[in-house]
Amino acid sequence: MQGPHAPLLASASASAADMPAASAPSPSAAPRAYDVAVIGSGPAAGTVVSGLKGSGKTVAAIDRRAFGGTCALRGCNPKKVLLNAAKAVDFARRADGLLVNGGAGVGLDWPRLHAFQESFTEPVPPSRLEQFRDAGADCFAGAARFTGPDTLVVESYPGPADPDDRDWEEPGVTLRFNQAVIAVGSQPAPLNVPGEEFVIRSDDFLAAADLPGRVVIVGGGYIGLEFAHALLRADREVTIVETGQHLLSPFDAQLSERLADRTRALGARFECRAKLTGIERAADGSFVATAEREDGKALRIPCDMVVHGAGRVPAVADLDCDAAGIDWDERGIAVDDRLLSRSHPRAFAAGDCAGLGHPMLTPVAEAHGEAVLRALLTGEPTAPDVEALPSAVFTEPEMAAVGLTVEQAEDRGVPFRLIEEDLGTKGALRKLCEPCAGYRMLLEPNGGTLLGVHLLGPGAAELINLFAVAMRHGLTLRDLAAVPLVYPSLAAEFVKDAAEKA
């Protein structure tokens, strides 16, 4: 749409940085009316906007950052480029003298790797804008803030215009909506320590063209450990400060400890049961991360960078949901199991910001988006299908899981039978020169239906999908073993060994 009534259209060249707010809306400006206002542009929002194409509904899509969402621009996809490089370096090094010569000398060129990584992220904003516009949505660049139960203001910025969008709205355009979809995702949790301004968030880590020699990572979850594995293969010194007893607490504890041992062998230092207390700047421009252990011992860790890997929280605080009568708290937007606001009959939340405690994963966001889309099209809200969704830690070796852990089954009183094995000496793993591999599986005691599958080893992130399909369809290990699988392969190795124990 061109001319004086064109919406404030998001720039295809907008950076991934936060877009600053501008002036308040003019009281004389008439609100723009839309059937659906979608706040966000990640996988949940994308599913909704694209699915409304041809529905006859008018749609506004708003994002305060470059269109595309965290996963595509600042999360999963750029991170996977780094980890693929780490995987290649690690394989060459561990295969040195066995499969290849000179593997020990293979290194990771971070600046060149970063340039390759950007080739995946730079096309995302214009592509997502094209996707949304093709679906018929008007795309607004700016921070959305609710001003009433059916209005919001887009606190826009006079940023660089898309060449195809020469006319821009005045800052503070107001939108009136019939239904709202909040899909703003998440952001790093505040650390609340002195010197927090020196901490590098995951966005900045992935945007860095190069990284210094000594890095402290706050948090031993999957983000922290994946960053550590990339840094270690780039020959950086890494220290992880984790408040818990062990790393990767949502995953199987025994396999997590094996992966921790493998990570230590790469040179990582772990300080578990320790809480970051501050960051000090040294006279030479470096830093000292301070922490305190549970036993009261104080730690001072010299470093050149401190990276935030201590979890994420829903990014809802700046939406002024109270003005719309939309309840929220630190867990996100208060919704029922159908993703409908508990306090606003025409507002939905989807993805990381929905306060249901679902894992902050792209497949979850997509499932949420599909559920909200069905509600918008049919008028009948339904719960999203998030059962038996696999997840993975893209370290090397990888760890992956679907279903219940032992601890979860015990806490819920679910009876199970556990089978487990160290596969490090098996043929398929020896051929990859990787001794750190194994599985733990929870089976229904009588029929043998899979309740939980936990894998450690090369290719685990791909292999877990096979077990997720089995769980979705109620298959047993014997059912899987009855299917002819490629031999030799990791799938055949894992399935055959587990089926024999089942």
Taking only the tens place, the pLDDT of each residue in 233-289 is 999 999 999 999 889 988 999 999 999 999 999 999 999 999 999 999 999 999 999
Q: What are phi and psi of 35, to 5 degrees?
A: -70, -45
pLDDT value for 158: 43
pLDDT value for 246: 86
How does pLDDT run across 186-201, given as a tens digit for each residue? 999 999 999 999 999 9
Count of Cβ atoms closer than 10 Å to residue 46 Cβ = 25
196-310 is a CATH 3.50.50.60 domain: yes
Tell me the fold of 32-67+124-187+313-378: FAD/NAD(P)-binding domain (3.50.50)
Contact 155, 143 (CB under 8 A): yes
pLDDT value for 448: 87
pLDDT value for 187: 94
Contact 36, 50 (CB under 8 A): no
Question: Which residues of the chain carry a pLDDT beneath 70?
Answer: 1-29, 156-171
Q: What global pTM score does this model have?
A: 0.89
* Domain segments of the chain as ranges: 32-67+124-187+313-378, 71-121, 196-310, 397-501
Residue 76: strand, helix, or coil: helix
Contact 338, 163 (CB under 8 A): no
Query: How far does CA 393 lie from the centroid of its chain?
Result: 11
pLDDT value for 29: 63
Residue 135: strand, helix, or coil: coil
- How big is the CA angle at 136 (ends 134 and 142), to the nearest 5 degrees? 95
Task: State in words which class domain 397-501 has.
Answer: alpha beta
Strand partners, 375: none
Q: Which amino acid would we find at residue 435?
A: P
Residue 420: strand, helix, or coil: strand
